[in-house]
Amino acid sequence: MERTQFFSLQAGRTIEMPRHSHSRFAIGQVVRHRMFDIRGVVFDIDPVFANSEEWYQSIPEAVRPLREQPYYHLLAENDESSYLAYVSQQNLLADVDGGPVDHPQVSELFEDYADGRYRMRRGLTH
């Protein structure tokens, strides 16, 4: 399998990954966690795990997700708070029925919400 590399600021190191990675969700899409009461809007995607080793090891081994899959950066919320989350693809589902995400930073990155998705602000796309 062909591999490539990228530098992850979050991990503070170079990450090796397959040349082709397939993400199930897109930037602006609203998703929810399979096991926990968390939902959010995707604002960035890593093709494979690209966070710190300490973060990865803090997940209990019995539920620790695989590294070799896309990981999503979310503007997340639950009943108690809003925060940033980093979630593996295997732990996410599309959330088209839940409505908009009530995170204070949504309006900084996104504009209109329709059909379970946000449209990224024009000045932020390339």
Q: Find where tokens 């690209």 sit.
A: 50
Cα dihedral across residues 40, 43, 47, 50: positive or negative? negative
Contact between 77 and 38 (Cβ < 8 Å): yes
Structure token digits, residue 6: 């990228």
Contact between 28 and 69 (Cβ < 8 Å): no
Average pLDDT over residues 80-94: 97
Q: How many domains does the chain have?
A: 1
CA 24 from chain centre, in angstroms, equals 11
At 8, give phi and psi (nearest 5°).
Answer: -105, 115
pTM: 0.83
For residue 18, give its domain range.
Answer: 3-124
Angstrom CA distances, 20 to 7, 51, 56, 65, 70, stand at 17, 19, 23, 19, 11
26-80 pLDDT, tens digit per residue, is: 999 999 999 999 999 999 999 989 999 999 999 999 999 999 899 999 999 999 9
- CATH code for position 67: 2.30.30.390
Predicted confidence at residue 123, as pLDDT, reads 74
